[in-house]
Amino acid sequence: MQLYNSATHKKEEFTTHTPGRVEMYTCGPTVYHFAHIGNLRSYIMEDALEKYLRYEGYDVNRVMNITDVGHLSSDADTGEDKMLKGARREHKTVMEIARFYTDAFFDDCRKLNIKTPEVVQPATGLIDEFIKVVQGLMDKGYAYFAGGNVYFDTSKLDRYYVFNDHDEEDLAVGVREGVEEDLNKRNKNDFVLWFTKSKFEDQALKWDSPWGVGYPGWHIECSCISMKYNGEYLDLHCGGVDNAFPHHTNEIAQSEAYLGHPWCRQWFHVHHLNSDNGKMSKSKGEFLTVSLLEEKGYDPLAYRFFCLQSHYRKALVFSWENLDNAAKAYQKLVKRIAALKPADGPVDQAVLAEYKATFIERVGNDLNTALGVTCLYDALKADTNDATRLAILDSFDRVLSLSLLDKAAELRAKEAAQARASSASGGFTVTGEGDPEIDALVLRRAEAKKAKNFAEADRIRDELRTRGVEITDVPGGAVWKKI
């Protein structure tokens, strides 16, 4: 697989520390509010990446954190704790907020067919690990205590800015949004590893530490969680592009300082979902959730389909018109699959292998899911029987996770039930040879004629004729037979 590496700014052949195994880490949510669909775009694309790697034959150990402490309202070291902000907003405890929004996040993931990682670790469950690593950084001379807090000393590094080169002035007070002056820092880009009560007197969650009662900084949690569950060598770190700086930059600094060797080979960053007014953000108040899409009548998988049609390294513009187009295309795709006959002969393994090889080649070029979607349409036109077409589609859906065969089966059953109900109620009667799929098509033709949509009625008649089915209209219904 060729995958773009944010750290080197080029596509590279994907390799792992241990052949055949991928140690993968994905930054999880800060569970102070619902995830908006922009957040979930990242998780959809990371899910597709994990499933593609499994499709290629890798054994993947994917780890995700749940941030339930330490993430301040600025991604730097300023503002208030987002968890405390959420608790105050809803008049609940921080842990009540954390449990509720953690459950809500994974409920959204389930609706979007996002697989739960092998390890999901809330930050509050590894405080001792954070303290051990912070102490290790102090012992190695990479951290210092000042003003009641422990800071990482970036001046000890040969290179701090890993993903992009910044001017020194970028972190000057008032130049970059969210940066405030911290007189305890030796250097402008130093960052907090551990806060004590000197930062917030009213912090809800706090623990004893060698430096006083306090709580961890946001950046340290991901390094420690990954080192505990992925080991010392991480193959693949994922997240939204807005996490590259400062969050991922700080992760690299502290992890490599602590370990004494290179930490992560490959960095995968998903770009923003933008609205007409710019990047989606919870800080702007109103934001779009999966539940809101459902309230408006959208299948959440139509949103997944919308995301897969774009490349992860391009900003994606959301509008209701764009989502409508994706939803219609998804419905049409399911309808075409529903028209295939599952029992139409044996699966041609040679054809299946050929299409799988093409899928790997296309999607394996920097996770090009848009070409993966194109492969679905190619499979529908494959010069083979329906059983093989369905096997190809099912294979591709192991990565794309659009529930295509399940949705098609549901539609097939629904149409058959409608045909039976119409016949039983004394309405339009379909008489044939016991094939519910053909019954449903004959009924759809009758409905098209009733609506004076003669072009659709003729199309269905032609489709049936290509299947060797002849229709005879009779009073109150139609009779069909295979010829």
**CATH class as words, domain 296-402:** mainly alpha
d(CA 347, CA 343): 10
Q: What pLDDT sits at residue 178? A: 46
- Domain locations in the chain as residue ranges: 16-284, 296-402, 419-482
Q: What span, in angstroms and rounded, lies between the C-alpha atoms of 68 and 72? A: 11
To which residue do tokens 């990682």 refer?
117
| pLDDT value of residue 287 | 77
pLDDT digits (tens, 9 = 90+) for 428-438: 777 776 677 88
What string of DSSP letters covers 53-114?
A: HHHTT-EEEEEEEEB-S--BSSSSS-S-BHHHHHHHHHTS-HHHHHHHHHHHHHHHHHHTTP
Q: What are the respective helix, strand and coil percentages of the chain, to the nearest 5? A: 45, 20, 35
Can you tell me the distance from the alpha carbon of 250 to that of 220, in angstroms, rounded to the nearest whole number? 8
366 pLDDT band, cuts 50/70/90, is very high
Q: For residues 276 and 290, give the distance between their C-alpha atoms in angstroms, rounded to a whole number.
A: 19
* Consecutive H or E run containing 343: none
Q: Token digits for 406?
A: 């399940």
Min mean pLDDT across 108-117, 276-285, 308-317, 391-400 is at 276-285
Listed in order, strand segments (DSSP E) in 241-384 are 264-270, 273-275, 278-279, 316-317
Residue 168: per-residue pLDDT: 42
pLDDT for 421: 62
* Interval 313-365: pLDDT, tens: 999 999 999 999 999 999 999 999 999 988 878 999 999 999 999 999 999 99
Q: SS3 for 2?
A: strand
Strands 191-196 and 278-279: unpaired
CATH 3.40.50.620 fits 16-284, yes or no: yes
Q: Residue 173 — very low, low, confident or very high, per pLDDT cuts 50/70/90?
A: very low
Which pLDDT score, from 0 to 100, does residue 286 have? 57
